[in-house]
Amino acid sequence: MSVEESIGPAQFETALGIAPGKLPAHTVEMLRQANLRYARTTPAEQAELEAEAMERVKQGFTVVGEQRAGIWRDAWQDQLDRFEAAGFAVESLNPAFVDGSVVLRWQGGYIRSLSDKFELRVIEILRDAVFRLFLADVDSLYEFGSGSAFNVAAYAKIFPDVPVCALDWAPAAVRIAELLREKLGMKVRGERFDFFNPTKDMKLGPGAGVFTFCALEQVGPRFGPFLDFLLEQRPRRVVHIEPTVELYDPSSSHDRVAIEYHTQRKYLVGLLPALRKLAAEGRIKLLHSKRLNCGSRFHECYSVHVWEPA
């Protein structure tokens, strides 16, 4: 029989890599309300889930990259339609892909979630903590690869006076951000942006905050143009929450599933080593870098990297 456990402030602080007591009060309250309960799997269940997941990965998933532009265009058009049909209710922006399985990854093993919308709640809590800890002192916020714009809406709710820009290569993603301003009065705008080809005529400003959330994952090894763009722009602070293959442990069978999945989909590779190299050269300050050890059945989107131009 597996024992019921829950994620409270202490567990979340350890996962995020911050000192005890440092989780913002609002985030603590969100955690309390979410009541994140789960059951650990037994060693036999863990082995079975790993084998099943590995088998599924071997069957193949679609590979990310330029050829997926049409898929994202259609996905966000559907989301835009749902947003309009829902009378511009912000909750309708929660992407469908976070509503998935109850089997999740947590601290080196599989768990079965016992609370509603467990992964969505984790995302909301993580995002709240990261915004308050690392992006509270910027004078504008830019989210690149903003998708449904649910992150920018959440930021605008916390910091309503800070102008926010949502950037994505999918036109409907840009339109949703515009509607947040037009219909809901948020200080949000949308702009087209392609990680593979950053625009030259954009100025973020020295007080700007930059955010990417499971978005650079889509570029595989081709994060260079975007990193160069950021180094040139010199915003105040950059926060990435991205799957980080370099932080998995190849000696763990649990992590080998995630490594296989990540590699098979051709997700982001090399960003963390590049940031570490820039930090060693004194070009940036790498302020925080932590894998949460938390994710969905196949991999973990949630490693947080925070840096500033030196």
Using alpha carbons, list the distances in angstroms from residue 226 to 68, 229, 258, 278. Answer: 18, 5, 25, 14
Residue 194 near ligand SAM by CB under 6 A: yes
For residue 66, count other CB atoms closer than 10 A to its CB: 12
For residue 51, count other CB atoms closer than 10 A to its CB: 12
- Which residues partner with 217 through β-bridges? none
Q: Which is nearer to ligand SAM, 112 or 266 (CB)?
A: 266
Please report how close the Cβ of residue 309 comes to ligand SAM at its closest, in angstroms: 22
Q: Which is nearer to ligand SAM, 49 or 130 (CB)?
A: 130
Residue 261 near ligand SAM by CB under 6 A: no
Residue 303 near ligand SAM by CB under 6 A: no
Q: Which is nearer to ligand SAM, 152 or 257 (CB)?
A: 152
d(CA 304, CA 301): 9
Helix 150-158, helix 171-184: angle, nearest 10: 30
Residue of 134, 159, 193, 267 interacting with ligand SAM (CB under 6 A): 193
Please report how close the Cβ of residue 67 comes to ligand SAM at its closest, in angstroms: 11
> One symbol per residue from 91 to 110: x for binding ligand SAM (CB under 6 A), - otherwise; what is it?
----x---------------
Size of the site for ligand SAM (CB under 6 A): 20
Q: Which is nearer to ligand SAM, 142 or 169 (CB)?
A: 169
Q: Which is nearer to ligand SAM, 88 or 196 (CB)?
A: 196
- Residues in region 213-252 near ligand SAM by CB under 6 A: 213-215, 218-219
Please report how close the Cβ of residue 151 comes to ligand SAM at its closest, in angstroms: 5
For tokens 């339109």, the residue is 175
- Residues in region 198-217 near ligand SAM by CB under 6 A: 213-215
Q: Which is nearer to ligand SAM, 5 or 194 (CB)?
A: 194
> One symbol per residue from 141 to 180: x for binding ligand SAM (CB under 6 A), - otherwise; what is it?
----xxxx--x----------------xxx--x-------
Please report how close the Cβ of residue 110 comes to ligand SAM at its closest, in angstroms: 22
Please report how close the Cβ of residue 126 comes to ligand SAM at its closest, in angstroms: 11
Residues forming contacts to ligand SAM in the complex (CB under 6 A) are 72, 95, 145-148, 151, 168-170, 173, 193-196, 213-215, 218-219
